[in-house]
Structure 1
Amino acid sequence: MLHNNASARNRLAMVSALVVILLGSFGCAGQNWVIDTVREMDKDLVARVGRIETTSAAEKTRVDQQLTEVRGIGTDARNRADEAGRVAQVASQKADTAAQKADAATQKADAAIQKADAATQKADAVDGRLTRAMANRLKRTQVQQADVTFKTGKSVLHENGQEVIMGILKVLADNPTYTVDIVGYTDSVGKADSNLILSWRREEAVRRFMVERGVELNRFSFTGVGAERSGDDAQDALKREKNRRVTITVFKPDDN
């Protein structure tokens, strides 16, 4: 378009030069004709030049619009690419954080498993010791036995009985692994159920006396049997006195 515009201008310049030559060659009438002819030619050239300029301006506007659109598309593409890059970077950072958290959680889980394993091993060891202790508790040897006697129908310890118990306490204090059985008895006088309760009270009096002086309760086995083992003592006062008792038996565990 720019080339055509320049050509039109050149032609207009040539026409103008021709007019000057013709005006110098013809007379007045001829000059008028030349001027009219040139005017007509000039009008045509001016119109063509105007059309060319209009077309050229429109083409330039279209090209400028296309360039603007292309630049806009390029800018939008760059912006989208930058945004995608930022999103990818954030996603990568989040993935790294998640991986770190997963690693930390795995480490904590491993530590918990190790603690659980250690606790299980300790529990197994304790169970083993308890099992052996319970088994060995039934495997024991008697080392000492003593009787504490009571008055008829009574469960109160007297001085002689306390002295007997103090001797037992010394043995238990010197031997922490020893255990003791306490069994309460009565004579055959009275009702069987009353005698049973009385035998329990006598056993309890002895046991309480020993616990108050430091013997652990888990070292005792105790019961009351009433007159069940008194035999025929109704006519034998000495035998009845002997049956009004609590028997204390000390045992040591067997070494197994």
Structure 2
Amino acid sequence: MLENANDWSDTFYEKWKPIAMGFVNGAEKCLQCGKCTGQCPAAAVNPSYNPRKMIADLVNGNIKRIVSSIELWQCFFCSGCFATCPVDINFPFFVFMTRLAAMSQGFGWEDVKQLQKYAEQDYLSDGITVSPSERNPYVLEERGDIANIREEAGMPRKRQVTEEAVAEINMISDLSGMTSFMKKIGGVELYDCSKCTPRIEEKCKTKELPRKVGDIKTHYRFYNYGVPTGGAENA
């Protein structure tokens, strides 16, 4: 991403604090020790993902680099960074709030819109957060799908969730507004990983980007914190 002088804001972090409701007010205390990045599972598989650099950009006001980055969407909220941070910076909440800012600027919708059908097919119907047929098209070695990996580990191929738990998940989804949000944004085509072909695998690597979501014009994102394995600079 090409940066302009007006992409930076000296007052951004101070404006951010009340919006973040006190959860990431300590970002200016960051020691830049790198413990967050060193223990991060996402950083382990993607060398361009770097929470330490993203925190520095937040404090310094380079918000455009954060919101237009692909890396912002690679956190899956394990909270290992928060647990290991010597000054207790709540980076997962930082990611959550910044993703909302990115969406308002038209970034990240190719990821968000894929959640709608996933939520209907797996999460709300079966209470499963990871589909048993899911596989990673970027993984070079052949490991099979999630069901095969679970079976090799001595577990059932599909996680079993009680009817009571599924009912609670749906109730929480309804009360929190997630159900209505998913219906509002609509979804994109999801492929059956159990019937994967080289053509489908290649399409999985390039997510569909809608032109607009409501009144928001969408934009492609960039690897703003380094070039990942494979050399692609944007997606």
Band the TM-score falls in, shorter-chain normalisation: under 0.3
Task: Select the structure with the greater relative contact order (CA < 8 A; seq sep ≥ 6).
Answer: 2
| Higher share of residues assigned strand | 1
> Could you state the TM-score of these two structures normalised by the residue count of structure 2?
0.20
Task: From the CA coordinates, give the structure whose radius of gyration is larger.
Answer: 1
